[in-house]
């Protein structure tokens, strides 16, 4: 079944939500979802549905069936035992709901393929887009729609942004949401799709490719059911926006685990890698890289070449940066004579005019500014890595502001590296609030720049 884009769009940012299985009982999934909608400030209508209810649930008029609501419903969230889900889904179809999220588990992932087939048949009957079952569902920070059955005191909700994160796994999705919040990244959409009985990764990729709120797509994937269609959609989307992908089930044992987890057909890892490379996916090896790469794509322009200038106030970190750059397929540029002469005029005699450029442990905001201004203007420099070790005497909030100032121009990609504790983290926050991607090590920064370069090269080749 091919999901209609307009229908999928309505459920992704709904104006009305019915929660089937809503409850006031502490610990119940339906109670958590209901409370999250109330706490999030969702501006649309909320309709709690529970066959055993009479009166109200958490202050909202309750209904025994969604058919009793008799109002237009953009999204229904089903959180009831698996054996009752087919009937609830059929009622959603009769009520002309525009989209459904089934968070309930107990389907093909535990061998109940018969129940899942019933869901598929009902969805086809009503041409109804369904996400799940066995998932967390969706979150849209702009409309404050949040189907996650995870209390807000246990997992942070990211600020509004332009990265959309898609996860076949609910646990990977929820933990990564926490990490996204911790990194200060902004979220456009979160989609956890579980067993993908109806809406699958192809439909989601199609939607996000057209979604104006989404600039970067980060994807945790265990398997693909419709390989040909997935490739067709991916080849279109990666020409417009980056897709950073982390593939689960890359080993034989991992593939078996993926199948028992979401009944996913994990397939050949080498085949996936070949497809990802051919169609411009940026491949991450772990969750940390997934976020590192998404961060640089979210904040930086495309990279015209692989020549990176490094500025540091610590010689050892400059050495580590050199190793990391060359290990990731990046190189130092040959600075023009004009750049070298200009740097010699403004830098103290202790500074060697070569890359990596160690501007000294006493470097202050003025020295960083001079180095950034001249190196960023050099035509042979494609990107900059700025190492700011705030443990040194001259590095303070003025240095953080200076780096942020140059990053705001975005003429060339710029990443920062800052390693340290609480004092350092306070300055990292300043830079990241201004759109500077900050990394804890030269290795992670170089890895992110390498990903940016590879995707930029792919995009330029497709023009």
Up-side HSE of residue 139: CA atoms within 13 Å toward CB? 34
**Inter-residue contact 454 to 332 (CB < 8 Å):** no
**Inter-residue contact 130 to 7 (CB < 8 Å):** no
Per-residue pLDDT at 250? 54
Q: What is the number of helices (H) and of strands (E) in the chain?
A: 16, 19
Mean pLDDT of 94-111: 95
Same domain, 292 and 311: no
pLDDT band at residue 264, thresholds of 50, 70 and 90? very low
Query: Distance between CA atoms of 447 and 451, rounded to whole angstroms?
Result: 6
Mean pLDDT of 367-393: 96
Closest CA to 446 of 318, 280, 277: 318
Same domain, 77 and 56: yes
* Domain edge (last residue) among 135, 163, 195: 135
Same domain, 286 and 350: no
Q: Is the pLDDT of residue 66 over 80?
A: yes
Same domain, 294 and 379: no
SS3 at position 213: coil
CATH of the domain at 121: 3.40.50.720
SS3 at position 105: coil
Same domain, 366 and 429: yes
Tokens 């990443």 belong to which residue?
415
Q: Model's pTM, two decimal places?
A: 0.90
- β-bridge mates for residue 439, sequence order: 417
Same domain, 57 and 205: no
* Domain edge (last residue) among 265, 299, 333: 299
Exposure string of 204-230, with b = 16+ CB inside 10 Å and e = fewer, is: bbbbbbebebbbbbbbbbbbbeeeebb
Same domain, 199 and 124: no
383 falls within a domain: yes
Same domain, 369 and 398: yes
Mean pLDDT of 68-73: 95
376 falls within a domain: yes
Domain range holding 255?
155-299
**Total tally of structural domains belonging to the chain:** 3
143 falls within a domain: no
Mean pLDDT of 16-41: 92
Q: Is the pLDDT of residue 93 over 60?
A: yes
- The crossing angle, in degrees rounded to 10, of helices 85-94 and 113-126 is 0
Same domain, 277 and 336: no
pLDDT band at residue 6, thresholds of 50, 70 and 90? low
Same domain, 378 and 436: yes
Same domain, 224 and 187: yes
Cβ count near 257 (within 10 Å):
16
Tokens representing 121 are: 């048949």
Q: What is the pLDDT of residues 288-323, one digit of tens each?
A: 999 999 999 999 999 999 999 999 999 999 999 999
Same domain, 370 and 238: no
Tokens representing 136 are: 């967390």
- The crossing angle, in degrees rounded to 10, of helices 442-461 and 287-299 is 60
Per-residue pLDDT at 258? 43
142 falls within a domain: no
Strands 60-61 and 56-57 come out as antiparallel
140 falls within a domain: no
Distances (CA, A) of 252 to 40, 256, 270: 41, 6, 12
Mean pLDDT of 173-182: 86
DSSP 229-254: HHHHHHHHHTTTS-EEEEES--SHHH
Query: Distance between CA atoms of 119 and 130, rounded to whole angstroms?
Result: 9
pLDDT band at residue 265, thresholds of 50, 70 and 90? very low
Q: What is the pLDDT of residues 426-443, one digit of tens each?
A: 999 999 988 999 999 999
Exposure string of 261-276, with b = 16+ CB inside 10 Å and e = fewer, is: bbbbebbeeeebeebb
CATH of the domain at 278: 3.40.50.261
* Domain edge (last residue) among 248, 280, 299: 299
């Amino acid at each position: 079944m091919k999901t209609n884009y307009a229908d999928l769009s309505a459920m992704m940012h709904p104006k009305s939500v019915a929660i089937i299985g809503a409850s006031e009982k502490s610990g119940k999934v339906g109670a958590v979802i209901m409370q999250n909608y109330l706490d999030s400030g969702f501006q649309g209508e909320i309709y709690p549905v529970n066959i055993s209810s009479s009166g109200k649930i958490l202050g909202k008029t309750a209904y025994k069936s969604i058919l009793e609501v008799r109002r237009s419903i953009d999204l229904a969230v089903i959180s009831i035992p698996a054996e009752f889900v087919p009937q609830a889904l059929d009622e959603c179809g009769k009520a002309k709901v525009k989209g459904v999220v089934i968070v309930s588990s107990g389907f093909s992932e535990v061998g109940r393929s018969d129940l899942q087939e019933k869901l598929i048949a009902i969805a086809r009957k009503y041409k109804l887009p369904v996400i799940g079952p066995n998932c967390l569902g969706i979150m849209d920070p702009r409309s404050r729609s949040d189907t996650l059955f995870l209390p807000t005191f246990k997992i942070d909700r990211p600020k509004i942004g332009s990265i959309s994160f898609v996860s076949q796994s609910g646990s990977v999705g929820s933990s990564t949401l926490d990490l996204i919040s911790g990194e200060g990244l902004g979220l456009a959409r979160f989609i956890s799709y579980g067993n993908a009985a109806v809406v699958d990764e192809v439909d989601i990729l199609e939607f996000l490719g057209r979604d104006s709120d989404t600039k970067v797509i980060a994807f945790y994937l265990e398997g693909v059911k419709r390989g040909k269609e997935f490739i067709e959609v991916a080849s279109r989307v990666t020409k417009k926006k980056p897709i950073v992908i982390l593939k689960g089930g890359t080993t034989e044992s991992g593939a078996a685990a993926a199948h028992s987890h979401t009944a996913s057909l994990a397939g050949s890892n080498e085949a996936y890698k070949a497809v990802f490379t051919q169609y411009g996916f940026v491949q991450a090896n772990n969750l940390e890289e997934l976020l590192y790469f998404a961060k640089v794509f979210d904040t930086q322009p495309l990279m015209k070449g692989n020549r990176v200038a490094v500025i540091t106030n610590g010689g050892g970190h400059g050495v580590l940066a050199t190793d990391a750059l060359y290990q990731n397929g990046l190189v130092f540029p040959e600075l023009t004579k004009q750049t070298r002469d200009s740097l010699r005029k403004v830098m103290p005699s202790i500074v060697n005019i070569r890359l990596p450029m160690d501007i000294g442990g006493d470097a202050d905001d003025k020295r960083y500014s001079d180095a950034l201004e001249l190196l960023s203007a050099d035509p042979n420099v494609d990107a900059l890595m700025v190492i700011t070790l705030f443990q040194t005497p001259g590095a303070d909030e003025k240095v953080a502001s200076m780096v942020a100032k140059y990053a705001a121009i975005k003429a060339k990609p710029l990443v920062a590296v800052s390693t340290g504790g609480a004092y350092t983290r306070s300055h990292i926050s300043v830079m990241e609030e201004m759109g500077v991607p900050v990394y804890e090590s030269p290795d992670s920064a170089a890895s992110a720049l390498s990903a940016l370069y590879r995707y930029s090269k792919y995009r330029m080749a497709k023009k």
